[in-house]
């Protein structure tokens, strides 16, 4: 049963907090959990800021899409998942990788093109993979991850029910941007998911923009994108993505339901990115005052306020969290700097599993083979 | 080994069924593979044996179900994806070219893609240009995938079993025109490794290199040429990636002449690759430049006479052989 | 630690940037997230954001200047530092705009146009080389006259079947003479003898070898290393020949023709081939190629100013040419070699070679076989010396000639047989006239 949605604040496309849950019915999140979420979100924030700096210092090349402003989505969703549940996303993937548990040094090293990166430097910013934490990428082509998400859900269900003769007990989270709503791959995937009862939840990180195109210029029913899921017989949900508690509460309920019923779902996760689409985007398509309107919704600021209001941490403890995060990122950058570039042999490695011709087979990255 | 004569389509079904009995992770997915018993009856009876959880009908949604299968392969299952025709694989070009062959590399060795894509490839049935694709030229350019192209039922079974057990993505190119052809296939299990060509006919005057249905054209041409006193050695490559270069080079060093027969269009094709490699590695052994026989550089026509003329037919092969052996 | 602000890379293709406007000045407090300046890039005008907290200390690059990405443009004093004390680090002068990288010169593959008229398929070329057959001597049946495998196969069989058993009874067979029109040669003087050594210590120096001399060096080593050489020497009574030569030269004087002893030797060697065909042959691995044409190479020494060393000029079909023709031709070749130099055609195709050091007074020496020949004749001087004739010691003209032979093709008995034939022709030189 979908959570009833409140009308959006007309000055932004965001949803009001607490997102339709009646006051008093909002579950209490333990202090330690909120502090942990604050630490994770500020880690993602600091990491992404330093990524921007590193990109401008030419240490990161190619494309770089930062997650600044959307931290609550990754952290809240991952908190609602079990470790065994697969997660797949598009190219704005650093936040998901860190939230799932990748050490920032491997994430940064990957972007620096070093052997210590999660993909040995051969993937780059858009291809964060982490087998130990069930993170299946990191994909560059818009929408391509959507059939993959359906496939992951198919696979967990097949393993649970066909191979192990049990009951499907996994849910796959497949993240996409509002731009991907227009790709055929998503629609084919939703059709297949609805038809085959695949336990995959498509979480649209709806930040209102597809690069430079505002959503209403590219998508029909832009004001109510859940209608697209309804067309496939799939349950749709609208969630306030700027409040990590709202995200967690809504997603936990949905994930539990999908796990039990082995049915797909679709989430319109309203959020906002404070920076451009990528590093070369000057954001001319929106004004300064729009951005200022959204700055007050900063999810980290909101959580910090909540933690302070509930006395779950003193200002000094909060400062210590932030300092700890800054130190961790600084050390990760130093580690990534020191990691060597891949040797030229890596060119012909990991192309095929089999060794043949000039190809030298495959092996796991340092991230998975070294002791933490 | 006792053998029996079975059709090409039966050989593929036997391969898939044997592997599915052995390994639960293997499943078949595609349009009409289950309840229709296969658009070309390749999967006939498999739904009855393996059930709807393992023989899965899909809607007409190539991009979607190809991507779905790749996601499943990343997780550890071993899907066989049927394209009703390789012409339809173009709709799924992004997942099959951008995801399957590159996943292992992009993830730094973390996630492979042990998947088999199979279907009919090639012209000759008057199906019109959009249904008559020969995709080997398009896809063999891409590193990270393998391509197998059997010419007979025996090879079809052995290569399919290898393809399913292979941990890398395999494009398995069948042919509607070959599905009913019979040959002797052993009852016992056997495998044909990738990268090992077969010499279908030994000869002294010219080396013919080919894959798939055109191998049969070569054999027909060889019969005609034998009556003219030209002895042809016919090499069936069996796989394009990997390609058995050693067998080809050894043959050319013996005959000093080479003609490659490839049903795709000639520009940047596997045939052109053979010509380049033979010219490079057997330069001092050639009595004549390597000639290529391809389909004519035009979309496949409907009219029967035009379509037959377009193919790399035995007449064109004979002409090329007479040229390289200076028997005009 | 003061913080250096450098021109940031605000797009993936940006190489240079211009500060359009600074939003702060020295002394202003700045915080992480503040927009410090507007920067014009290759794509758009972008905001430059601050990543740290502190105070602006110095603006190094003013608005309006274009600098390379990475150039120092401002300094920020960190918390607790006095902006006034910040100095610009040395060696960070702003660099100007980047000159566009020069496009690398396009390398074009040299069109493999040899310009030569000879077309041979790769395998035919290799087979011809192995058989010791010059592909130019084979008629090509391929397009454009291309020599192909079966042409070489046919040519090899033809050569093979030319081997006939030695018939000592049959007189030397002569076919129609070939007339070669030559321009009248000018009289030559023999190469000047080597100047006497100057007194005093020799000067050490490095002498570069010309390509030809390097090639000669290589071929000589190859010959000695691969051919099992052995030598057979014979003495020849030269009295008759010397007489014959004098008489003929008298008769030929009005025509400006002068016969040398070597010319007689050339003809004699050529005629001797008919009875001793293996001297006109080449070793080819598992077979011997006996050549149809008798082409005698004569060794011609070159003066230092022409690079020194020696070349072999070839008298084609010497068995078909008269003494006069041989004389004219060898003179022509020697002169040309020492002036303009010989063409490839004039230097190729010898099937037997003669080297003569007689004019230097050398009595005896051995020569190195000129591959792919199977033999070479080294002739010494005709010397007047005591000899035994009719059991009497008299003064007579004697010459020593030494054959160097390829034992794979010619054995001792064959060598002796050849020298016997040669002796016949040289000691009864009238035989050279018919």
* Partner-chain residue, chosen from A56, A58, A280, that has the shortest CB–CB distance to C43: A280
Give C 129-158 residues with CB within 8 A of chain B.
141-142, 148-150
Of A226-235, B124-133, B186-195, B205-214, the range with the lowest mean pLDDT is B124-133
Give A 182-221 residues with CB within 8 A of chain B.
184-185, 187-189, 191-192, 195-196
Average pLDDT over residues C309-335: 89
Give A 170-189 residues with CB within 8 A of chain B.
184-185, 187-189
The per-residue pLDDT for C116 is 55
Split at pLDDT 50, 70, 90, the class of C301 is confident
State the distance between the two ends of chain B, measured CA to CA, in whole angstroms.
45
Provide the 8-state DSSP code for C12. T
Per the CB < 8 Å rule, is A121 touching B69? no
pLDDT at residue C177 greater than cutoff 70: no
Ranges for all domains in chain B classified under CATH 3.40.50.970: 3-186
Split at pLDDT 50, 70, 90, the class of C181 is very low
CA-nearest of A225, A299, A234, A306 to A263 is A234
Residues 6+ apart with CB under 8 A from B3: B184, B185, B186, B187
CATH topology of domain B3-186: Rossmann fold (3.40.50)
* Partner-chain residue, chosen from B61, B71, B166, that has the shortest CB–CB distance to A354: B166
Mean of per-residue pLDDT scores for chain C: 81
A49 touches chain C (CB under 8 A): yes
The alpha-carbon gap from A281 to the nearest alpha carbon of chain C, in Å, equals 8
Average pLDDT over residues C59-76: 91
pLDDT greater at residue B143 or residue A275: B143
Instruction: Give exposure, C302-313, as e/b (b: 16+ Cβ within 10 Å).
Output: beeebeebebbb
Angle (CA) B102-B105-B109 rounded to 5° is: 130
Split at pLDDT 50, 70, 90, the class of B126 is confident
Of C8-22, C225-239, C320-334, the range with the lowest mean pLDDT is C8-22
pLDDT at residue C172 greater than cutoff 50: no
pLDDT at residue C179 greater than cutoff 60: no
Split at pLDDT 50, 70, 90, the class of A6 is very low
Q: What is the DSSP string of A72-133?
A: HHHHHHHHHS-TTS-EE--S--HHHHHHHT--HHHHHHHHTT-TTSTTTTSS-TT---BGGG
Please count the residue pairs, one from chain A and one from chain C, whose beta carbons lie less than 8 angstroms apart.
35
Question: Could you give the CA distance from residue C34 to residue A343 in angstroms, rounded to a whole number?
Answer: 40
pLDDT at residue C180 greater than cutoff 50: no
* Partner-chain residue, chosen from C123, C141, C142, that has the shortest CB–CB distance to B256: C123
Mean of per-residue pLDDT scores for chain B: 96
pLDDT greater at residue A285 or residue B198: B198
Active site annotation includes C364 = no
Per the CB < 8 Å rule, is A154 touching B68? yes
Question: Could you give the CA distance from residue A211 to residue A182 in angstroms, rounded to a whole number?
Answer: 13
pLDDT at residue C91 greater than cutoff 80: no
pLDDT at residue C95 greater than cutoff 50: no
Average pLDDT over residues C17-44: 88
- Chain B contacts of A147, Cβ < 8 Å? 63-68, 70-71, 95
The per-residue pLDDT for B179 is 95
Residue A93 forms beta bridges with which residues? none
The per-residue pLDDT for B247 is 98
What pLDDT, in 10s, does the model give residues C244-279?
Answer: 999 999 998 888 888 999 999 999 999 998 888 888
Split at pLDDT 50, 70, 90, the class of A205 is very high
pLDDT at residue C165 greater than cutoff 90: no
Radius of gyration of chain C (CA): 41
Per the CB < 8 Å rule, is B24 touching A163? yes
Q: What is the percent of chain A with per-residue pLDDT over 70, rounded to a whole number?
A: 94
Mean of per-residue pLDDT scores for chain A: 92
What are the C-alpha distances in Å from B55 to residues A160, B115, B171? 17, 15, 19
What pLDDT, in 10s, does the model give residues A61-108?
Answer: 999 999 999 999 999 999 999 999 999 999 999 999 999 999 999 999
Cβ pair B108, A115 in contact under 8 A: no
Cβ atoms < 10 Å from Cβ of A78:
25
The per-residue pLDDT for C158 is 72
Average pLDDT over residues C392-412: 92
The alpha-carbon gap from C117 to the nearest alpha carbon of chain B, in Å, equals 18
The alpha-carbon gap from B230 to the nearest alpha carbon of chain C, in Å, equals 14
Question: Could you give the CA distance from residue C209 to residue A339 in angstroms, rounded to a whole number?
Answer: 54
Average pLDDT over residues A355-369: 96
Q: What is the percent of chain C with per-residue pLDDT over 90, rounded to a whole number?
A: 37
The per-residue pLDDT for A18 is 59
* List of domains in chain C: 3-85 (2.40.50.100), 117-161 (4.10.320.10), 210-433 (3.30.559.10)
Ranges for all domains in chain B classified under CATH 3.40.50.920: 198-324
pLDDT at residue C234 greater than cutoff 60: yes
Q: What is the percent of chain B with per-residue pLDDT over 90, rounded to a whole number?
A: 94
Please return the burial class of B38, using the count of CB atoms within 10 Å of its CB with bins 0-12, 13-18 and 19+.
buried
The alpha-carbon gap from B290 to the nearest alpha carbon of chain C, in Å, equals 12
The alpha-carbon gap from B209 to the nearest alpha carbon of chain C, in Å, equals 20
Q: What is the ipTM of this complex?
A: 0.88
Instruction: Measure the CA dihedral B213/B219/B225/B226, to 10°.
Output: 180
Say which residue the tokens 């269009």 belong to.
B265
* Partner-chain residue, chosen from A49, A50, A58, that has the shortest CB–CB distance to C9: A58
- pTM, entire model: 0.69
The per-residue pLDDT for B158 is 98
CA-nearest of A366, A343, A371, A369 to A118 is A366
pLDDT at residue B26 greater than cutoff 90: yes
pLDDT at residue C169 greater than cutoff 70: no
The alpha-carbon gap from C107 to the nearest alpha carbon of chain B, in Å, equals 21
Question: Could you give the CA distance from residue B270 to residue B273 in angstroms, rounded to a whole number?
Answer: 5
The per-residue pLDDT for A21 is 59
A262 touches chain B (CB under 8 A): no
A61 touches chain C (CB under 8 A): yes
Please return the burial class of C25, using the count of CB atoms within 10 Å of its CB with bins 0-12, 13-18 and 19+.
exposed
The alpha-carbon gap from C165 to the nearest alpha carbon of chain B, in Å, equals 36
The per-residue pLDDT for A4 is 27
Please count the residue pairs, one from chain A and one from chain B, whose beta carbons lie less than 8 angstroms apart.
166
pLDDT at residue C170 greater than cutoff 70: no
Per the CB < 8 Å rule, is C148 touching B326? yes
Give C 70-129 residues with CB within 8 A of chain B.
121-126
CA-nearest of C349, C315, C350, C311 to C329 is C315
B322 touches chain C (CB under 8 A): no
CA-nearest of C219, B68, C36 to A193 is B68
* Active-site annotation of B, residues: 62, 131
Split at pLDDT 50, 70, 90, the class of A10 is low
Split at pLDDT 50, 70, 90, the class of A312 is very high
The per-residue pLDDT for B236 is 98
pLDDT at residue A1 greater than cutoff 50: no
What pLDDT, in 10s, does the model give residues C108-129?
Answer: 333 333 445 688 999 999 999 9
pLDDT greater at residue C333 or residue C177: C333
- What are the residue ranges spanned by the domains of chain A? 31-369
Cβ pair C63, C21 in contact under 8 A: yes
Per the CB < 8 Å rule, is A350 touching B111? no
- Preceding amide of A182 cis, omega within 30: no
pLDDT greater at residue A290 or residue A38: A38
Strands in B206-210's sheet, in edge-to-edge order, are B198-201, B232-236, B206-210, B258-261, B291-293
The per-residue pLDDT for C336 is 86
Highest mean pLDDT among C159-173, C273-287, C297-311: C273-287
Per the CB < 8 Å rule, is C44 touching A62? no
The per-residue pLDDT for A130 is 98
Which CATH architecture is the domain B198-324 placed in?
A: 3-Layer(aba) Sandwich (3.40)
Per the CB < 8 Å rule, is B69 touching A151? yes
Per the CB < 8 Å rule, is C45 touching A282? yes
The per-residue pLDDT for B125 is 84
The per-residue pLDDT for C100 is 41
Per the CB < 8 Å rule, is A282 touching C51? no
Average pLDDT over residues A33-60: 96
- Chain B contacts of A90, Cβ < 8 Å? none
What are the C-alpha distances in Å from B136 to residues B140, B263, B266, C270? 6, 9, 11, 65
Average pLDDT over residues B119-134: 90
The per-residue pLDDT for C161 is 55
Cβ pair B210, B237 in contact under 8 A: yes
- Chain A contacts of C70, Cβ < 8 Å? 57-58
Split at pLDDT 50, 70, 90, the class of C404 is very high
What pLDDT, in 10s, does the model give residues C13-26?
Answer: 788 899 999 999 99
The per-residue pLDDT for C212 is 67
Per the CB < 8 Å rule, is C32 touching A49? yes
The per-residue pLDDT for C160 is 61
Per the CB < 8 Å rule, is A357 touching B242? yes
Residue C35 forms beta bridges with which residues? C49
Question: Could you give the CA distance from residue C366 to residue C382 in angstroms, rounded to a whole number?
Answer: 16
Per the CB < 8 Å rule, is A147 touching B167? no
Cβ atoms < 10 Å from Cβ of A198:
28
Give A 343-362 residues with CB within 8 A of chain B.
349-354, 356-357, 362
pLDDT greater at residue A184 or residue C143: A184
The per-residue pLDDT for A22 is 58
pLDDT at residue C377 greater than cutoff 80: yes
pLDDT greater at residue C227 or residue C275: C227
Average pLDDT over residues C398-421: 92
Which CATH architecture is the domain A31-369 placed in?
A: 3-Layer(aba) Sandwich (3.40)
Q: Which of C127, C138, C149 is best to mutate for the B interface (most B CBs within 10 A)?
A: C149
Q: What share of chain A is helix, strand, coil (3-state, %, to 5)?
A: 45, 10, 45
Split at pLDDT 50, 70, 90, the class of A370 is confident
């Amino acid at each position: 049963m979908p959570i009833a949605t409140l009308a959006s604040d007309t000055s932004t496309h965001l949803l009001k907090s607490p997102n339709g849950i009646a006051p008093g019915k909002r579950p209490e999140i333990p202090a330690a959990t909120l502090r942990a979420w604050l630490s994770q979100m500020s880690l993602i924030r600091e990491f992404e800021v330093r990524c921007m700096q590193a990109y401008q210092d030419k240490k990161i090349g190619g494309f770089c899409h930062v997650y600044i402003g959307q931290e609550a989505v990754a952290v809240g969703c991952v908190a609602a998942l079990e470790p065994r549940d697969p997660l797949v996303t598009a190219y704005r993937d650093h936040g998901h990788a860190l939230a799932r548990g990748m050490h920032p040094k491997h994430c940064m090293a990957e972007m620096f093109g070093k052997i210590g990166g999660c993909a040995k430097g051969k993937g780059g910013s858009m291809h964060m993979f982490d087998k130990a934490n069930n993170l299946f990428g990191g994909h560059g082509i818009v929408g391509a991850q959507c059939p993959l998400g359906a496939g992951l859900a198919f696979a967990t269900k097949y393993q649970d029910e066909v191979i192990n003769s049990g009951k499907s007990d996994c849910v796959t989270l497949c993240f996409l941007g509002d731009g991907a709503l227009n790709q055929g791959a998503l629609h084919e995937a939703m059709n297949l998911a609805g038809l085959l009862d695949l336990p995959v939840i498509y979480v649209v990180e709806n930040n209102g923009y597809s690069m430079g195109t505002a959503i209403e210029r590219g998508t029909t029913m832009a004001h109510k994108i859940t209608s697209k899921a309804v067309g496939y017989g799939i349950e749709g949900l609208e969630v306030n993505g700027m409040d990590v508690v709202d995200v967690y509460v809504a997603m936990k309920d949905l994930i539990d339901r999908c796990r039990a019923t082995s049915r797909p779902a679709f989430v319109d996760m309203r959020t906002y990115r404070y920076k451009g689409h990528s590093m070369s985007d000057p954001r001319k398509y929106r004004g300064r005052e729009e951005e200022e309107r959204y700055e007050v919704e900063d999810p980290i600021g909101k959580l910090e306020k909540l933690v302070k209001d509930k006395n779950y941490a003193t200002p000094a403890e909060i400062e210590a969290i932030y300092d700890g995060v800054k130190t961790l990122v600084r050390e990760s950058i130093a580690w990534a700097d020191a990691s060597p570039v891949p040797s030229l042999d890596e060119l012909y490695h990991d192309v095929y599993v089999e060794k043949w011709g000039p190809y030298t087979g495959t092996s796991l990255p340092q991230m998975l083979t070294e002791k933490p | 080994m006792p053998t029996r004569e079975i059709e090409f389509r039966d050989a593929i079904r036997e391969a898939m069924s044997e592997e599915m009995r052995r390994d639960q992770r293997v499943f078949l997915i595609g349009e009409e593979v289950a309840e229709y018993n296969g658009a070309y009856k390749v999967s006939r009876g498999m739904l009855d044996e393996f059930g709807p959880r393992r023989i899965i009908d899909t809607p007409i949604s190539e991009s979607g179900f190809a991507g779905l299968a790749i996601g499943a392969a990343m997780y550890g299952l071993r899907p066989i994806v049927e394209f009703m025709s390789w012409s339809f694989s173009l709709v799924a070009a992004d997942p099959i070219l951008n995801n399957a062959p590159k996943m292992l590399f992009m993830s730094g060795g973390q996630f492979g893609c042990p998947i088999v894509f199979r279907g009919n490839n090639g012209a000759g049935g008057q199906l019109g240009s959009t249904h008559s694709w020969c995709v080997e030229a398009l896809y063999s350019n891409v590193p990270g995938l393998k391509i197998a192209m059997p010419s007979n039922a025996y090879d079809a079974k052995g290569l399919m079993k290898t393809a399913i057990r292979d941990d890398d993505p395999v494009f398995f190119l069948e042919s509607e025109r070959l599905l009913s052809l019979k040959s002797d296939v052993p009852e016992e299990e056997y495998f044909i490794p990738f990268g090992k060509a077969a010499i279908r006919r030994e000869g002294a005057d010219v080396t013919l290199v080919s894959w798939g249905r055109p191998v049969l054209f070569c054999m027909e041409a060889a019969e005609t040429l034998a009556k003219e006193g030209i002895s042809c050695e016919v090499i069936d490559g069996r796989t394009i990636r990997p390609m058995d270069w050693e067998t080809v080079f050894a043959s050319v060093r013996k005959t000093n002449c080479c003609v490659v027969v490839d049903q795709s269009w000639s520009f940047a094709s596997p045939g052109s690759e053979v010509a380049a490699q033979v010219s490079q590695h057997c330069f001092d052994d050639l009595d004549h430049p390597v000639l290529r026989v391809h389909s004519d550089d035009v979309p496949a026509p409907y009219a029967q006479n035009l379509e037959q003329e377009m193919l790399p037919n035995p007449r064109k092969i004979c002409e090329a052989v007479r040229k390289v052996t200076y028997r005009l | 630690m003061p913080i250096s602000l450098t021109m940031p890379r605000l797009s993936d293709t940006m190489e240079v940037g211009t500060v359009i406007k600074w939003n702060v000045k020295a002394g202003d407090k700045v915080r992480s997230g503040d927009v410090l300046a507007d920067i014009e890039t290759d794509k758009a005008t972008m905001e430059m954001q601050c990543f740290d907290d502190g105070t602006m200390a110095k603006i190094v690059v003013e608005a309006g200047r274009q600098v390379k990405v990475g150039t120092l443009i401002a300094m920020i004093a960190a918390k607790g530092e006095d902006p006034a004390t910040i100095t610009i680090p040395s060696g960070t002068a702003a660099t100007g705009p980047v000159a566009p990288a020069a496009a690398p010169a396009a390398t074009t593959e040299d069109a493999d146009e040899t310009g030569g008229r000879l077309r041979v398929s790769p395998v035919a070329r290799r087979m011809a080389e192995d058989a010791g057959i010059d592909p130019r001597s084979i008629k090509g049946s391929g397009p454009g006259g291309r020599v192909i495998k079966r042409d070489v196969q046919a040519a090899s069989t033809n050569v093979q079947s030319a081997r006939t058993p030695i018939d000592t009874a049959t007189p030397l067979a002569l076919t129609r003479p070939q007339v070669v029109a030559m321009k009248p040669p000018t009289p030559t003087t023999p190469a000047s003898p080597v100047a006497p050594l100057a007194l005093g210590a020799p000067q050490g120096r490095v002498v570069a070898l010309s390509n030809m001399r390097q090639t000669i060096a290589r071929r000589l080593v190859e010959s000695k290393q691969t051919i099992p050489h052995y030598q057979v020497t014979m003495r020849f009574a030269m009295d008759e020949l010397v007489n014959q030569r004098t008489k003929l030269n008298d008769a030929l004087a009005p025509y400006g023709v002068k016969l040398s002893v070597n010319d007689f030797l050339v003809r004699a060697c050529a005629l001797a081939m008919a009875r001793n065909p293996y001297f006109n042959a080449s070793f080819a691995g598992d077979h011997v190629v006996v050549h149809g044409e008798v082409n005698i190479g004569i060794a011609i020494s070159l003066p230092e100013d022409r690079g020194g060393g020696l070349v072999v000029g070839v008298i084609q079909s010497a068995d078909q040419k008269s003494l006069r023709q041989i004389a004219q031709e060898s003179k022509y070749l020697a002169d040309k070699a020492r002036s303009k130099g010989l063409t490839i055609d004039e230097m190729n195709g010898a099937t037997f070679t003669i080297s003569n050091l007689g004019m230097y007074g050398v009595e005896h020496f051995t020569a190195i076989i000129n591959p792919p020949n199977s033999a070479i004749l080294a002739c010494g001087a005709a010397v007047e010396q005591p000899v035994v004739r009719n059991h009497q010691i008299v003064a007579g003209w004697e010459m020593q000639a030494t054959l160097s032979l390829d034992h794979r093709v010619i054995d001792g008995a064959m060598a002796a047989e050849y020298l016997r034939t040669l002796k016949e022709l040289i000691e009864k030189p009238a035989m050279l006239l018919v």
